[in-house]
Amino acid sequence: MFSGFRFLILLTIIPVFGGCSLLGHPSGTIKGEVKSPAPAVERYEGDKSREISYVYTARKELSLTFNGMGDQKTMTALLDELDAHGVKATFFLPGVRVAEEPDIAKAIAARGHEIENNTLNQLDMSTLDYDGIYKEIQLANEVIERETGVKPRYVRTRSGDYPEDVPLAAAHLGMKAVVSYNINPRDRDMQSAEEIGEYVARYMTRGGIISMNTDINPEVVAAVKYIAQAAENIGYRLITLDELVENGGERKPLASIPGYDAAKINPDYHDAAYELVYKARTDRKEVALTFDDFGSDKTVTQILDILEEHDVQVTFFLRAKGVEDNPNLARAMLEGGHDVANHTYSHPVVTTLTPEELQEDVVKAHQVITEAIQEQPVMLFRPPTGVVDDLRAKAIAATGYPIMAMYDVTTLDWDTSNTADDIVNGIMTKTEEGSVILLHMLDGLHTIEALPRVLTGLKDKGYTFVKMADMIEHQSGARERN
């Protein structure tokens, strides 16, 4: 492989590759001819390109990407493994390696994988000026397109980190985005294939971008089967980066979303009115099923799939710190027809906070959830652990959340010692007209095992499921009619 020093020499001595020079000069160029220094590229003054670490989408899709270009043996084995599991991946290739072994790059494209730009020499871009950054990207584009016929649309640095001039240079060159990642199994640490697969399975997300390297740890080849199996187990597809981007959307900034300011800090809270709703007073055989906190994609997706199978809509009270880390999962709840509501940002016992601290937490949660789902959430608030006192309830109400969404049916399913039978029996015994049932979406509980039985059992008793806000509205309408 060319060293960085060697290739710097090649930038002034024009070589010939396959009939034309690496810098795009015609085949008539004499090898060894000294090239006059090109004028420096002026820094781009337009808008920088899009920067992508994950794709905003509720679809069950994510992308497997690779950096660098290993030797022929490694790359052939990797391509064979991807074929064996029906996975189409995205390869960020260094221009120098494509120039050295174009047949490998051509094989990647021929197998139906995506080829993108890993810069020319995989240099540390923070050490380069704008001219150097531009040329690192530009020359890699030229090499890749000449040798493979593929025009790169995305660029990634070797580490995934980059200075602000990289998105500017990418925009200058007409590229779609600078790409990093949000799932990094740290194959540089020479972990085993099983460890790499377990890491990806644990952090797998809708819209996720997995980043691995082809030229460091040979275990990435065997890791493909574990990653493919993890995706299959959760029902997610591994697709190329460009398909993921095209299927996804861009998030509007918070301040442009209607209702982002429906919750505000309000120091005048001492006389604020509030209502604690434990259940609805109704003679209808309807109940509201609710879920608290947040979980992994695997757990929440299983819950969403069960609810869809049974045609049941629920209310999710979200711990917003989890939403902040995985906004796509919150959006998936909304697109499934469910309501999402506020369960604080940091999940404190609210009586341990001052009213001022509590308001900050509630408002922050509102903003995080609003930005994640791209619309105003349902204006219901549920205090963690179900504990709230008069002073804190007034403080919460004054922010814009006057209804404290409590519950009358709980089986402590957050305690793993409570089995699926315990959860089912508790709900079936305690539920009545207007009940609000509390469950949790944390990982490792018996809730998922119990959920289909709960839904079937309550339906068999004649109950219908409504979202909590709708049930409260039904109750209010009944009051007005009376």
Measured in degrees and rounded to the nearest 5, phi and psi for residue 431 equal -70, 140
Nearest to 41 by CA among 133, 164, 151: 133
12 burial (CB, 10 Å; 0-12 / 13-18 / 19+) is: exposed
Clarify whether 305 is annotated catalytic: no
Task: Say how far apart CA 12 and CA 23 lie, in whole Å.
Answer: 10
Q: Which is catalytic among the residues 113, 172, 343, 440? A: 440
**Radius of gyration for the alpha carbons in the chain, expressed in angstroms and rounded:** 28
For 308, left (φ over 0), alpha (ψ -120 to 50), or beta? alpha
Q: Is 292 an annotated catalytic residue? A: yes
Instruction: Given the residues 165, 187, 215, 292, select the one marked as catalytic.
Output: 292
Q: DSSP E strands: which ranges in 268-348?
A: 275-277, 286-293, 315-318, 339-342
Query: What gap in Å lies between CA 119 and CA 175, rounded to an integer?
Result: 13
State how far the Cα of 200 lies from the Cα of 27, in Å rounded to an integer: 46
Phi and psi of 343, rounded to 5°? -125, 30
Q: What are the distances in angstroms from CA 20 to CA 23, 99, 143?
A: 8, 11, 10
CA distances from 54 to 43, 177, 184, 352, 467 (A): 27, 12, 12, 36, 31
Neighbour-count burial for 179-207, b at 16+ CB within 10 Å, e otherwise:
bbbbbbbebeeebebebbbbbbbebbbbb
CA distance 182 to 1: 29
As a whole number of angstroms, the distance between CA 146 and CA 154 comes to: 17
Q: Could you give the residue ranges of the DSSP H alpha helices within 2-101?
A: 4-10, 72-84, 95-100
Catalytically active residues, by annotation: 292, 440
